[in-house]
Structure 1
Amino acid sequence: MAAAAIRTQSVLRHVLSCSPRSLRASNQRRWAQVHDVRFLATTQAPRNVIEKYREKLAKKAQEEGLGDINALKEAYKEKIETLRKTADVVIPSSAPAPPPTSSPPPAAEKRIEKRKETESPSGIKPLSSILDLSKVSSLPEKELSAIWRFHHAAKPNSLCAVIPSGTFATIEQTARQFPQFVLPVPHPEQGAEMHFLQWTWDRATKSTTVLFTQLAEYKARGEFAQPHTTVTHYTDLAEEKGVVLMQGQVVEDRGVKVDDARWLVMCLQRFYGGWDGQGGEMGKERQEERRRLLEWFGRGDGRFDVGRLMEEAERMG
């Protein structure tokens, strides 16, 4: 085990030694081809609601005699805060599940408050402090998913997903074998930026968490490096409802956008087997190549190659 760790560190040093300039030069054209990113099992609401509805909001401000959108936001500040607080509760099963961006229905006034529970020693909140498990366990999967999305819809730096438990079991099995890896984030004008990920498990909260850190930050600070994104998977409902609930948080001012974090999570799921079995023979070939890269990195094998890693990530565009 110690020898494997030493070899992994050797591979990390090799990745870190790659010149950012050479990465930009060799991959600028390639990353320019990457477009829309699908996010496994999630229907996260658009994050920048202001931009999407700017025209309607401007018209609303004009109708109410307000100067601009900022004035409209200020006038409705109290109502917005009320809606955000409402998003932090579980809606009764008798109420219809709202779409992620809709206002809560009247029945939400008779909401069920989530139970207050302390975090585990790891600092992770249990799922029961976010949802009332005794209530949501009786809901159909579609309604449960809608509630989970609604809970995160008003939080601009959050990620969420509802993952089939079988899919997550495959991902977790691979993660236990290879709990560390590196992934690239494409920047069309600059090539790619490398990020280091590490899986952790917390038995007290039945959760699995992935920490994402910029590789440059990891190089500079090692084990004291601060992650820019934390993604936690809750398995409380895996057997009963057949789903694993995922939530993530992107830390502000760490140089990473929510879209970058979303891309990293998608890459994580793809490399760790979340999309295995798709794409026929070609898909199987790509699956095997991703598996080889994971194994080579985890075992410190000199065959691990950053160029091949980026080629595989590019195929997800």
Structure 2
Amino acid sequence: MMKKRKPEEIKQIWKQYYSGEDTVYAVIPGKTFDLMWKRIQDCPSFLYALPRKEGYEFFVGQWSGTELHFTSLINIQTRGEAAPTQLILYHYPELQEEKGIVLMTAEMDSRVLTVTEAQCLASQVQLFYATDREEIYRLVEAFNHQPAEFKYMSVIDEIEQSRVGEELRPQQDPTSPTA
């Protein structure tokens, strides 16, 4: 049914369908997904930082085919292989060749993540894997191929610089002396 529609119509249907749901969804341009896919083959995992009240919580994202599974680092450290996945991003590339788009939706553990937090992690995937700036993608390469050289503070710096997840950061009171 979707193959008969124009890309703009598909985008509208996808957004309309998921707008009433408590989840993360997107329509990714095919060229963006091509770049991401090429990089995913070489670098299938990365460490993402989620802004919290008291700093950041780290999540490891691990690609399995077109699915991206996120698990909090603390769960991996304490539970190892038994660590549960808290967020899965599903990418559907079936329309990519013909329509130039890839559809994405998510499944999340709402006891651990809010939709806004899940959206922040999803946005970081594009920030680190679809970037034109080589120095940002080098963080992904270092995590996968030179772990001793990987600097987690560089991830935080990029997130803060790009303002991804800004809505999750506590707002300072402008009347406070430290603001």
Q: Which range, TM-score by smaller chain?
A: 0.7 to 0.9
Equivalent residue of 2:150, what SS? coil
Give the stretch that moved more between structures: 288-297 or 237-246.
288-297
Cα offsets for 1:142-167 (capped at 9, x unmatched): 111111112212221x1111111111
How far apart, CA to CA, are the structure 1 residues paired with 2:18 and 2:155?
32
Over the matched positions of the two proteins, sequence identity in percent amounts to 31
Match of 1:199 in 2: 63
Q: Can you give the 5+ residue segments of structure 2 that lack an aligned partner in the other structure?
A: 164-179
Report whether the alignment pairs 1:216 with 2:69: no
Q: Partner letter of residue 262 of structure 1?
A: Q
Equivalent residue of 2:46, what SS? strand
How far apart, CA to CA, are the structure 1 residues paired with 2:13 and 2:127?
26
Q: How far does residue 139 in structure 1 lie from its aligned partner after superposition? A: 1.1
Q: How far does residue 252 in structure 1 lie from its aligned partner after superposition? A: 2.1
Cα offsets for 1:106-152 (capped at 9, x unmatched): xxxxxxxxxxxxxxxxxxxxxxxxxxxxx211111111111111221
Match of 1:27 in 2: none
Q: 2:120 aligns with which of 242, 256, 263?
A: 263
Report whether the alignment pairs 1:301 with 2:108: no
Q: Partner letter of residue 237 of structure 1?
A: L
How far apart, CA to CA, are the structure 1 residues paired with 2:129 and 2:42?
10
Report whether the alignment pairs 1:239 with 2:97: yes
Q: TM-score, normalised by structure 2?
A: 0.86
Q: TM-score, normalised by structure 1?
A: 0.50
Please provide the CA RMSD for this pair: 1.2
1:154-165 superposed matches below 5 A = 154-156=20-22, 158-165=23-30
Q: Partner letter of residue 147 of structure 2?
A: D
Q: Partner letter of residue 192 of structure 1?
A: Y
Report whether the alignment pairs 1:143 with 2:9: yes
Q: Partner letter of residue 119 of structure 2?
A: R
Bigger strand fraction: 2
Match of 1:248 in 2: 106
1:99-110 superposed matches below 5 A = none
Higher Cα radius of gyration: 1
Q: Partner letter of residue 11 of structure 2?
A: S
Match of 1:58 in 2: none
Tell me how many residue pairs correspond in the alignment.
Answer: 163
Q: 1:178 aligns with which of 33, 43, 46?
A: 43
Q: How far does residue 300 in structure 1 lie from its aligned partner after superposition? A: 3.5
Q: How far does residue 301 in structure 1 lie from its aligned partner after superposition? A: 3.4
